[in-house]
Amino acid sequence: MKTSRFKFQKLSLAVIIFCMTIPRLLWATSVIFNDFSNASQLQLNGNAVANFNNGIDSRPVLRLTTANNSEVGSAYSKTTIEVAAFSSFFEFRITNPGGYLSEKGADGLVFVIQTIANNVLGTTGGSFGYQGINKSIGIVFDTYNNSEHNDPSGNYLGIDINGNVDHTVPATYVQNFTEPFNDGQLWYCWVDYDGTTLEVRANQTGIRPATPSVTEELNLVSILGQSAAYIGFTASTGNSWENHDIVTWQYNTVTVTPPTLTSVVVNTTTDVLYPQGSTSVSLRNAIAIANSSTTPTTITFDPIVFATAQTIVMTGGQFVFRNGSEPTTITGPAAGVAINGNNASRVFEITANANLTLSGITITNGNANAGGNDGYGPTFPI
């Protein structure tokens, strides 16, 4: 929560002000296919072929299945790749939908991360070649409505886990699309995982959407049982069929590292702005450091000075937080600490866009007459 004022009778503001510390991401490119003229890094299985000319794209593609009855194909990295956090982008094209059934075109393709083997191959039809692959996740682009799998439609994007293609799942895990995936047009897809949240985006414009099409909170390493896996694609056809082509693909591992922190320890209860070089660090000094910091700041209290409950009586006016680019966290000592506004001013003013988290603090005797008597209030434990 961000606010420009601290009002003591507004409990939602006085109790906690939220911030988020954003981890730094270090990228390492693992897989790049600008085309599939050379697929030596991939294990091709079933009907999958590389270096294929589909007559539409100017470069060779990876064809997982042709538009024929009951085919299945897969392609996986020959070696396992780190998947604890990653970002992947690929382009696909599905053409020539047909079949014996009234609904033409089937069944769709899946972006798969799995730990079984690089030559694993599922079955044909509505399984996408993915059903039954345990210790896996699959990003499904389904082009046929299989009622036995509780599909929401015959054209949706979904997140499947452990080879289960039954889609009786929360609505956030599946998203119907208006434009058919098998309309012959080029589709663009982004799959991102930061170690906690899996996000998938897809469209025909090639411009990455701000909002994910589907998202799911999951622990991928726990699902897989390890942090490295085979990555690739599967597709299948049945009594209806279509060509499933992967046109380009890029996969990047991501190393999530915690941000560099500025750590300040308050070692006095006096409210004095000590000069630079002093061995005394007041809360006012610590806040001044936080306001000028270019990294997230943590403010704690000396465990010896604050071994018992202490009170900081303000004599220099309100504490002002101005840093709008980096968050500040103030954590009180185990014994607790009170900040007393001395009935002379607000205790805190948080300017627009500043980020502050407080815990283990008690605020008392604040006075903000300029804001009316809603700024003068009781003690709040924080």
Average pLDDT score, the chain: 83
Q: pLDDT (tens digit, 9 = 90+) per residue, 21-35?
A: 444 445 555 788 999
Residue 344 burial by Cβ neighbours in a 10 Å radius (0-12, 13-18, 19+): middle
Considering only CA atoms, which of 111, 94, 108 is closest in space to residue 214?
Answer: 111
Residue 271's pLDDT is 93
Tokens of 319: 């504490």
Tell me the mean pLDDT in the region 102-117: 92
Q: pLDDT (tens digit, 9 = 90+) per residue, 27-76?
A: 555 788 999 999 999 999 999 999 999 999 999 999 999 999 999 999 99
Residues 6+ apart with CB under 8 A from 311: 269, 337, 338, 339, 340
Query: How many helices (DSSP H) and strands (DSSP E) are in the chain?
Result: 3, 26
Q: Classify strands 228-236 and 81-82 as parallel, antiparallel or unpaired.
A: antiparallel
Rounded Cα distance, 177 and 140, in Å = 12
Q: pLDDT (tens digit, 9 = 90+) per residue, 318-370?
A: 888 876 678 899 999 999 999 998 888 788 888 767 788 999 999 998 886 64
Q: pLDDT (tens digit, 9 = 90+) per residue, 97-106?
A: 998 877 788 8
Which residue intervals of the chain are DSSP H helices? 11-15, 220-224, 283-292
Tell me the mean pLDDT in the region 89-109: 90
Confidence of residue 316 (pLDDT cuts 50, 70, 90): confident
pLDDT > 50? residue 372: no
Rounded Cα distance, 199 and 292, in Å = 34
Domains of the chain (ranges plus CATH)?
11-22+259-381 (no CATH), 24-257 (2.60.120.200)
